[in-house]
Amino acid sequence: MAVKILLDPSMYHPHLSVADECRKAADLGYSYLELSPRADFHEWHHYPKVDRALLAETKAGMSDSGVKIWSFNPVYNWSSPDPLMREHAVRCLRRLLQIANELEVPLIATEFSGDPNRPLESEAAFYRSMEELVPDFERYGIECTIEAHPYDFVEENSRAVQIVRGVDKDWLNYEFCCPHAFHLGQGDRDVHAMMAYAGPRLRHVHIADVFDHTANVGNRYIVNPPGVDARIHQHNEIGNGEIPWDDVFGYLRETDYDGPVSVCVFGWEEDADAIHVRMRERIEAELGA
């Protein structure tokens, strides 16, 4: 079994161009990048800001470094109950698919988005957006994985898998995000069972650790005012949290998982290089490379 280990270079976004992030990834021993949102490329909810010059610069960075951008990780509200916002998100994704095709990026890894307080309307908006975007994905031959992010219209693992199944396309599958596990399971620690529920639809895994926000009767994290409509989590290095990694890696080995795994540690810029090397080495030891 061999997986593709992708580096999410989020901690370098303030300091490096996308081309230089490819070079940084190579220096850290990575062959693949997962490009998360950044203002000069695809920013959260904003139209992509990529012109021909930036495309050429990015291609040069990939060529120089030997690092391939394997996935874009955009966040667009394609499940918004607001028609204007939903149409804007579809337009953004269409443009990003053009950019992915130009850069030979084979995967869009994204989120459900929408409004958790209007779940049925958001689900309807999601399926409408999918109907509009299916021809674009299929024209370019680009795959898509979707995660249930905290504060999406669907936040629970099994329900998210069911919604993906409802589209019923071989190229559209589920991403399990480890640092969101305690939201996905509503505090349930059985990550093995959650991944097993996705079964063959599990085609992408995000790797980072997190502490259980439901522990100690919810007092592990304190958010004010009490009862505020918000979600909290972290993206920490393996070992700096409570994810049961023997269960995660054990399931992936049992199923001969051979899809991408993305290293997505955020918020520890002072030790970013060392963290990313340790993360890569741990995944290689567990799953091969």
Give the predicted TM-score (pTM) of the model: 0.93
Alpha-carbon distance of 3 to 252, in angstroms, equals 10
Question: For position 187, what pLDDT does the model report?
Answer: 57
Structural tokens at position 126? 């999601």
- Which one, of 154, 150, 215, lies nearest residue 189 by Cα? 215
Complete DSSP assignment for 27-66:
HTT-SEEEE---TTSS-TTS-----HHHHHHHHHHHHHH-
Question: For position 194, what pLDDT does the model report?
Answer: 94
Alpha-carbon distance of 27 to 249, in angstroms, equals 26
Alpha-carbon distance of 195 to 171, in angstroms, equals 18
Cα 109 to Cα 146, 181, 255, 271, distances in angstroms: 6, 17, 21, 26
Question: For position 186, what pLDDT does the model report?
Answer: 72
As averages over each run of 10 residues, the pLDDT of the chain (289 residues) reads 91 97 98 97 96 98 98 97 98 98 98 96 98 98 95 91 98 95 76 95 94 68 70 76 91 96 88 96 91
Alpha-carbon distance of 289 to 287, in angstroms, equals 7
Q: Which amino acid is at 178?
A: C
Please, what are the domains in the chain? Answer: 4-287 (3.20.20.150)
Beta bridge partners of 69: 33
- Which one, of 23, 20, 28, 16, lies nearest residue 276 by Cα? 28
84: number of Cβ within 10 Å: 8
The kind and range of the H/E element at 7 are: strand 4-7
Question: For position 231, what pLDDT does the model report?
Answer: 64
* Sign of the alpha-carbon dihedral angle for 12, 16, 19, 24: negative
279: number of Cβ within 10 Å: 23
